[in-house]
Amino acid sequence: MARAETSKGSIQRGNTLPNGDIYVGSFDGLVPHGPGKYMWTDGALYDGEWDKSKMTGRGLIQWPSGASYEGDFRGGFIDGAGTFKGVDGSVYKGSWRMNKKHGMGTMVYSNSDTYEGFWNEGLPDGFGKYTWADGNVYIGRWKSGKMNGSGVMQWINGDTLDCNWLNGLAHGKGYCKYASGACYIGTWDRGLKDGHGFFIGPDCLQDSEVDKDSVYEREYVQGVLIMEQPKNEDSRMSESGIAQENNWEKQAKGPMETIYKGHRSYYLMLNLQLGIRYTVGKITPVPLREVRSNDFGPRARIKMYFPCEGSQYTPPHYSVDFFWKDYCPMVFRNLREMFHIDAADYMMSICGGDSLKELSSPGKSGSIFYLSQDERFVIKTLRKTELKILLKMLPKYYNHVKAYDNTLITKFFGVHRITLKPGRKVRFVVMGNMFCTELRIHRKYDLKGSTQGRSTKKQNINENTTLKDLDLSYVFHIALDCMFLESQSIIDYSMLLGIHFRAPNHLKSITSCQNALESTGISAETECSVALHHEETISSKGFLLVAADEPGPAVRGSHIRGSMVRAAEGGYEEVDLVLPGTGRFRVQLGVNMPARARKVQEDVNVEVENRDTIEEYDVVLYLGIIDILQEYNVSKRVEHAVKSLKFDPLSISAVDPNLYSRRFISFLEKVFPEQD
């Protein structure tokens, strides 16, 4: 073994270590320190600086595979700035942290693709530019190695798409401009156009104005164009006014507004969050027990005063002083347990750092609706009479939902009251959101069974419209029952039905035709009309059903309990719903329910001659019974008597609970008929 004196405290020597590795360089005592070379038994070689037995400073490491790294090391890790050359010819030059690409860097892949931007834990994350070898370019946000957030895709043919992205696919609002000059403004869902939007032809801009004849309103389902009509405008409009005139942004955003500081509901939201956090936190440590008779009624409550400066029992806060009342806390605690809602998740969903969203009411009650940021829970303001009805029916309601796991009746999770000075009282109920799903709800229907005043004007229908009975043009194979509500003398309830359409494969086959025509500015509906009716040999199914016991995770519905639905197509076994390109979902009553919808004639008296021409769709259903807090009281009896003078007594909503229930069930049996 050679040995030579070097600088103070440092000895240069070569040595074969007990594990067979070889080190040649400087030591400090018995550990490598300073410049030196280290060769592992597998052939890997490091030549660079050491600090107390750790690779630290500048150095070069070469692996037996042919890969190499030259740059900074820290504490035995690749850490700092450096260049990595892969065995496949790829090259990364940029920042590192603990052996992973982290920070700003440029990667040239083996296929000549290039990414320049920010990295996190070895993957593109943050703002970056990706250039494909064929010339396509994406500039925008990334997350965990995939396009995620706002960004612009530029294709080599001149098309561009400015959109929100999710897991590498266009998802959300977007603006697509084609090389021809045509453009489409609308929404995308996992890479496919989905929902309403506007197509503007390439030659419509003349003298900074848009020719109304070149603007088309469109609706897509899973990338398939199902509706196109000229935009109905009274006059020409300026290019800068397109968004305002078309009102596209409002349609895309929906009827929701995040509550911000200065919003009319801001302090009300803060008070609600403070109160729920307090009472849920107070009741949760109490041992779970069966409810008793004294747990019900208006006297079963928690009352507390919340001054801004705080008190012995309440924290200081930035809202206004208020009084809080929590009704029947033990009952609703047990209801939340029934539906497997964790107390911490419940508080985080409603009372976390995020604001609530305020929704416009689809009904005539004047109630204000709020939605938690994760959209699991809906909070609705109540009239005093509705509160009384809810508390009155609560014992029977509790027993009903306890006895019937698969009930479709509204799930109630809490009832509260806030009193503001000088005596203004606001009452709330917290409910489960039946449309809490990652799937887009293309159609919403509010079904009662009555016909008087139940039609929605066609020109007002879009994804954010809750349709009413006479607009329903689809029939589903399903049925349900509502005897409990009749026993409580409740009327005016309805079934809220949400429909997610799955585009059949034989319609998806023409998507490429539509996209090609759009880039040239030709109306896709006109040119593809023949293809729409062309016989295809491939399967038309928009989803698959697999046995629930087959391996693989399935997404469950939020706050849903009870047995799974058995499908006839699955041999009457419990099944999961597999949506190609989307995911696997647990099928339960009211949630993720696969069905076949067929469009019926507008005139029900006209018989279809050729049953093979009936338009059918694969759909996923979400449904539940809502608005269950209206009794058939004196005012409703008077309403029935007055309206019966002008309209058919059987067609109006205000009728005897027994008749209402029978009519409701009869209507649903027509909508959801038994299979032939």
Compute the mean pLDDT over every residue in the chain, rounded to the nearest whole number: 79
pLDDT, residue 112, reads 94
Q: How far apart are CA 63 and CA 82, in angstroms?
A: 16
Q: How far apart are CA 355 and CA 367, in angstroms?
A: 19
Q: What is the pLDDT of residues 352-409, one digit of tens each?
A: 877 899 986 555 667 889 999 888 999 999 999 999 999 999 999 999 999 888 888 9
Answer whether 575's CB lies under 8 Å from 548's CB.
yes
Q: How far apart are CA 111 and CA 105, in angstroms?
A: 18
Say yes or no to pLDDT of 88 above 90: yes
pLDDT, residue 46, reads 95
What are the tokens at 443? 């159609």
pLDDT, residue 543, reads 75
Which amino acid makes up residue 120?
N
Portion of the chain with pLDDT greater than 70, in percent? 74
- DSSP for residue 371: E
- Which residue has better confidence, 237 or 358? 358
Q: Which residues contact 262 (CB under 8 A, 6 or more apart)?
A: none
How many CB atoms sit inside 10 A of residue 555's CB? 17
Q: How far apart are CA 34 and CA 54, in angstroms?
A: 10
pLDDT, residue 567, reads 59
Q: How far apart are CA 510 and CA 505, in angstroms?
A: 9
Say yes or no to pLDDT of 57 above 80: yes
597, β-bridge pairs = 617
pLDDT, residue 97, reads 94
Q: What is the pLDDT of residues 266-289, one digit of tens each?
A: 999 999 999 999 999 988 888 889
E strand segments, 144-267 = 146-154, 160-166, 169-177, 183-189, 192-193, 195-200, 205-206, 209-210, 215-221, 224-230, 237-238, 256-258
Under the banding of pLDDT at 50, 70 and 90, the label for residue 648 is confident
What mean pLDDT comes out for the span 293-311? Answer: 91
Q: How far apart are CA 294 and CA 56, in angstroms?
A: 70
Say yes or no to pLDDT of 551 above 60: yes
pLDDT, residue 465, reads 55
Rg of the chain in Å (alpha carbons): 32
558 φ, ψ (degrees, to nearest 5): -70, 140
Answer whether 27's CB lies under 8 Å from 11's CB.
yes
Q: How far apart are CA 610 and CA 632, in angstroms?
A: 45
Under the banding of pLDDT at 50, 70 and 90, the label for residue 246 is very low
pLDDT, residue 241, reads 37
Q: How far apart are CA 233 and CA 451, in angstroms?
A: 32
Answer whether 172's CB lies under 8 Å from 157's CB.
no
Its sign, for the CA torsion 257, 262, 267, 270, is positive
pLDDT, residue 462, reads 54
Say yes or no to pLDDT of 562 above 60: yes
129 φ, ψ (degrees, to nearest 5): -125, 125
Portion of the chain with pLDDT greater than 90, in percent? 41
Of 97-106, 542-551, 560-569, 621-630, where does mean pLDDT reach its minimum? 560-569
Q: What is the pLDDT of residues 438-457, one digit of tens each?
A: 888 888 888 887 666 556 65
What are the tokens at 331? 């009952």
Q: Which residues contact 610 (CB under 8 A, 6 or more apart)?
A: none
How many CB atoms sit inside 10 A of residue 240's CB? 10
- Which residue has better confidence, 468 or 620? 620
Q: How far is CA 3 from CA 11, 18, 35, 191, 552, in A?
A: 7, 19, 15, 66, 62
Its sign, for the CA torsion 650, 651, 654, 657, is positive
Annotate 398-425 with b (16+ C-beta within 10 A) or e (fewer): bebbeeeeebbbbbbbbbbbbbbeeeee
What mean pLDDT comes out for the span 203-229? Answer: 73
- Which residue has better confidence, 62 or 3? 62
Q: How far apart are CA 396 and CA 373, in angstroms?
A: 31
Half-sphere exposure of 409 (CA within 13 A, CB side): 24
Which amino acid makes up residue 513?
C
What are the tokens at 120? 């996190």
What are the tokens at 582? 């989307």
pLDDT, residue 555, reads 72
pLDDT, residue 12, reads 55
What mean pLDDT comes out for the span 139-148? Answer: 93
3-class DSSP assignment, residue 276: helix
425 alpha-carbon distance from chain centroid: 33
pLDDT, residue 513, reads 42
Q: How far is CA 188 from CA 195, 196, 291, in A?
A: 8, 10, 48
Q: How far apart are CA 268 and CA 613, in angstroms?
A: 54
- Which residue has better confidence, 470 or 21? 21
Answer whether 212's CB lies under 8 Å from 200's CB.
no
pLDDT, residue 637, reads 87
Q: How far apart are CA 211 and CA 216, in angstroms?
A: 11
Q: Indicate the helix (H) or strand (E) that contains 232.
A: none
| Angle of the 266-283 helix axis to the 329-338 helix axis, nearest 10 | 80
How many CB atoms sit inside 10 A of residue 7's CB? 9
Say yes or no to pLDDT of 7 above 60: no
Answer whether 382's CB lies under 8 Å from 629's CB.
yes
Under the banding of pLDDT at 50, 70 and 90, the label for residue 127 is very high
Domains annotated for the chain, with CATH where assigned, are 15-110 (2.20.110.10), 125-201 (no CATH), 256-432 (3.30.800.10), 439-513+560-600+614-675 (3.30.810.10)
Question: In the 3-class helix/strand/coil scheme, how is 576-619 assigned residue by residue?
Answer: EEEECCCEEEECECCECEEEEEEECCCCCCCCCCCHHHCCEEEE
- Which residue has better confidence, 594 or 243? 594
Answer whether 116's CB lies under 8 Å from 104's CB.
no
Say yes or no to pLDDT of 34 above 50: yes
How many CB atoms sit inside 10 A of residue 340's CB? 12
Q: What is the pLDDT of residues 474-532, one digit of tens each?
A: 545 456 557 899 999 999 998 898 988 887 554 544 444 445 445 444 333 333 322 22
Q: Name residue, tokens 């027993």.
A: 399
Which amino acid makes up residue 368?
I
Q: What is the pLDDT of residues 517-541, one digit of tens each?
A: 454 443 333 333 222 222 232 334 5
Answer whether 157's CB lies under 8 Å from 171's CB.
no
Q: How far apart are CA 192 and CA 503, in angstroms?
A: 11
Q: Which ranges of 404-523 does DSSP label H, i.e. alpha helix? A: 483-487, 505-508, 511-520
231 φ, ψ (degrees, to nearest 5): -70, 125
What are the tokens at 664? 């409701």
- Which residue has better confidence, 553 or 521? 553
Under the banding of pLDDT at 50, 70 and 90, the label for residue 590 is confident
